[in-house]
Amino acid sequence: MIGSNNAETGGLWTSRKPQFWRSLRYLLKKDIITKVRHFPSIIEFLGACTLTLLLFPIYHYARFKVPENPNPEMEGPANINLTLGIFLYGVGKAVPRIVLLPNCSNTRFLKAMVIDRLAEQIKINSTIVDTVDEMRNFIYQTDSNAIGLHWKNGNASDAMRNPQFTIYEQVTYGRPEEGLIQVIVDYLTMMPFSPKISHIDRQPFPTKKSFNEFDIQLFFAFFGIVPVILATMPVIQSIIDEKGEKITTLMFLMGMTELQYWIVNFVIMIGFSLIAYLFFALEMCYWFGMKGTDFSLFMAFTFLFMVAHTFFMSCVMVCMQKSEHGRSQAIVFAVFGIFFCYVHQFYTLQPNASDKAKHGMSIFPLSTYEVMVMNFYDHVKRGYNGYHWSDFYQDSPYKISWGFMWFGIDIVVYGIIFLLLNTFLPRHFGVQPMHIQDVFKLSAWKALFHGKGQIDYNKVKNADIAIKVDHLHKVFSGATPVTAVKDVSFQVKKGEVIVMIGPNGAGKSTIINTLSAAIKCSGGEISLFDGDPTNQFQEIHNYLGICFQDNVLIGLLSVREHFELFGALRGIQKEDLDCAIDFFGTTLQMSHQMSTRAKDLSGGQKRKLCLALSLLGNPPIVVMDEPTAGVDVQARQLIWQTISGLKDSTLIITSHALEEAEAVSSRLFIVAGGDMPFQGTSTELRKQFNCGYILRVEREDGTVGPVLDIAKNIIPQSIMADDRKDTVIVPVDRKASILLEELDKRKDELGIKSYSFSVEQLEDTLIKMIQHAEAEINMNH
């Protein structure tokens, strides 16, 4: 290849050894390098790690001091003058609680005969406990009204005649406990209503000097999802950008597998998020907000959340095509995060919320994580020690076990949805791993799980026909379907250089892209190296090197890093790859640009790099879509020189530079209006369309006059030019010299002042042929 031995350009195609972990390592390196070299990505990642610190001033200024009260005074008997409505309806829809102590026969009798009967009319949560601490926990774990009744002499013989109570209460307004006690006493003593009660004490709990705080659950919930949104934003944007710029398609064509691609994306997203959440967990568990919470427990459910959310985001990303959707996705997630915060604050975590509603809100990983964070924060805010693994099944507004369960469900469900979407959803550019109509075809599943399969190199070596395409056509669907390629058939012999010529919009790039399975064809079959015909055009990937019409490069990688990445994907051994880098650097005059990033290269240098990558490893088939587009004269000559030196590859090239392409081509394929009206050599093209010589005569009347008759007598196929009266088109013929001698002899007789005789340009012939083809198309329509 290129006048060199195969080792210089990456070794033999048969000597490649693609290695899964080597390719994975270079893909990870590529992702990390592009993030580190991209300033906005650095800012977003630092924001993910540090923005949660904004919670601290919010937390600090939301706290207020509660003075110490180690010996609260006990209030004596009080007059009864309030109704139970203050207690029962004091906090919206929150269900009031009544706690009884001690657990004895009299207390159980009181609950059954009074409290439970009262509950038949009004919704009340009631229970009997054994200790004052249990009573306090039951009261303070809710925001609703709650009263604790300690029947101090409940075990005494005169408990019914002379009941003595100590009250522990949490109420929003008034003294509802007195009315409740009076109802109880009246029932027990069977006495008419009287404000005089045997003995009622109102006993507040002793308190130490401490801090209380305003309810800021919303802030903790929202800031809890900020790290995953910011940390994954650069990755999401990169994935969508690379899809739109065809980089992802190129890497697939060069040997990257779907599994490698998504492993790298998942590792990067989860890895960046994990670093950010380590900072968040340390802040919460050891500094403020949830101090005392078990760090391993917090990180365990956070890690599950990151995995579940990554699968959820991947489902969304598979459906995205435009690069501007990348960061807008983060905004959408933030808006939904705020919405979930409010739902949890005012409904999900309220005592009256049903378990069904809590589970229903848990189908979204963001929602589940927010409610977990709010629950953990509220538990510490109420004065309890932070949650530990021993509290895994403890009853709370949202059980810890529920969160773990739903994260596991989300991982499985969204993982399956992602696999289905990624496998079957059509792609804007590139072909999905399997088509929905092939679900029941065993061959399609074998191809999916066994990759591209093994190459029969003996077949490649002994074959005569490299590519045979039958009845290829492509229709772009839409409101108005557009037929880009119409029933095209052709074959290419091994070692041929085919140059595909045609005007813009003729269908050249569409043929190239369907042939290389970069886009799905609407119909047709392909056979490779005398193999069996198949409609699975992606089989060409086993043999393919490709150079797209656009410069498909990773802007933040250097020239050398491009060779290393694509060399790893191709499976080129390190020694061969080093030789190839040196060779292409010298041949394409890029040795001094090896450390230059692709975005800083000139247009010609970018084009040369794309060309070198397509030839890396000596692929048996190379497809180039306008390899000299947008380059200067020097770079164009160097590219054509490189192409002309190819030895072992079969090439299909599209180009507008007909004269330059003619010099390197074996045959020309002319494309016009989605059809291929001509396949043959340049000589055959000239002959078919009478491409020969141009005889231009200068006479007084501005016409050829009798010169046309003389030309026809000597070369009968001579004709008048369509666009000029002073020009005769003379086909290639050995008698052309006789014609020129005759004109010289009779110059004065024919009134010829001067004349010129030149070879007709191939471009002129091409224009004629394309006009003829398009005219036929218009007639057919």
**pLDDT tens-digit readout, 525-560:** 999 998 888 888 888 888 899 999 899 999 999 999
Residue 404 has pLDDT above 80, yes or no: yes
pLDDT band at 197 (very low <50, low <70, confident <90, very high): very low
Residue 85 has pLDDT above 80, yes or no: no
Nearest to 248 by CA among 331, 323, 330, 315: 323
Asked if residues 336 and 259 have their Cβ atoms less than 8 Å apart, the reply is: no
List of E strands, 134-230: 146-151, 164-170, 199-202, 210-213
* Domain pair 6-15+544-655 / 85-208, same fold: no
**Residue 137 CB-half CA count within 13 A:** 14
Asked if residues 656 and 640 have their Cβ atoms less than 8 Å apart, the reply is: no
CA distances from 239 to 228, 242, 320, 324, 582 (A): 16, 5, 10, 12, 31
Residue 132 has pLDDT above 80, yes or no: yes
- Please provide the CATH number assigned to the domain covering 692-759: 3.30.70
CA distances from 150 to 144, 160, 199 (A): 19, 14, 12
In whole angstroms, what is the distance from residue 230 CA to residue 742 CA?
85
List of E strands, 613-674: 621-625, 650-655, 667-672
Residue 33 has pLDDT above 60, yes or no: yes
Q: Give the pLDDT score at 1.
A: 46
Report if pTM > 0.85: no
Q: Give the pLDDT score at 186.
A: 65
The most confident of 127-131, 596-600, 756-760, by mean pLDDT = 596-600
Residue 678 has pLDDT above 70, yes or no: yes
End-to-end CA separation in angstroms for the chain: 46
- List 113's β-bridge partners, or say none: none
In whole angstroms, what is the distance from residue 447 CA to residue 433 CA?
9
List of E strands, 633-717: 650-655, 667-672, 675-680, 693-698
Q: Give the pLDDT score at 736.
A: 86
Side by side, the strands of the sheet bearing 497-501 are 544-547, 621-625, 650-655, 497-501, 667-672, 675-680
pLDDT band at 196 (very low <50, low <70, confident <90, very high): very low
Q: Give the pLDDT score at 461.
A: 80
In whole angstroms, what is the distance from residue 284 CA to residue 398 CA?
19
Structure-model confidence comparison of residues 34 and 2, the more confident one: 34
Residue 311 has pLDDT above 90, yes or no: yes
Nearest to 407 by CA among 333, 316, 299, 326: 299
In whole angstroms, what is the distance from residue 189 CA to residue 411 CA?
61
Average pLDDT score over the chain: 84
In whole angstroms, what is the distance from residue 148 CA to residue 101 CA?
8
Residue-range domain boundaries for the chain: 6-15+544-655, 38-55+216-424, 85-208, 692-759
Structure-model confidence comparison of residues 262 and 136, the more confident one: 262
* 85-208 topology per CATH: abc type-2 transporter like fold (3.40.1710)
**pLDDT tens-digit readout, 714-771:** 998 888 887 788 998 888 788 888 988 888 988 888 888 899 988 777 777 777 677 7
Residue range 334-348: mean pLDDT, rounded: 89
In whole angstroms, what is the distance from residue 498 CA to residue 676 CA?
13
**pLDDT tens-digit readout, 432-477:** 888 787 777 776 776 666 555 566 677 788 889 999 999 999 998 8
Q: Give the pLDDT score at 77.
A: 45
DSSP 377-443: HHHHHTTPPPP-GGGTT--SSS-HHHHHHHHHHHHHHHHHHHHHHHHHS--SSS--SS-GGGTT-HH
Side by side, the strands of the sheet bearing 719-720 are 719-720, 727-730, 693-698, 754-759
486: helix, strand or coil: strand
**Among 173-182, 187-196, 405-414, 654-663, which is the least confidently predicted range?**
187-196
Residue range 196-205: mean pLDDT, rounded: 51
Q: Give the pLDDT score at 176.
A: 66
- List 99's β-bridge partners, or say none: 127, 148
pLDDT band at 322 (very low <50, low <70, confident <90, very high): low
Residue range 604-614: mean pLDDT, rounded: 94
Asked if residues 420 and 317 have their Cβ atoms less than 8 Å apart, the reply is: no
Residue 629 has pLDDT above 90, yes or no: no
Residue 290 has pLDDT above 90, yes or no: yes
pLDDT band at 3 (very low <50, low <70, confident <90, very high): very low
- Please provide the CATH number assigned to the domain covering 6-15+544-655: 3.40.50.300
Question: Among all chains, which residue has been given the structure tokens 């380059």?
Answer: 631
716: helix, strand or coil: coil
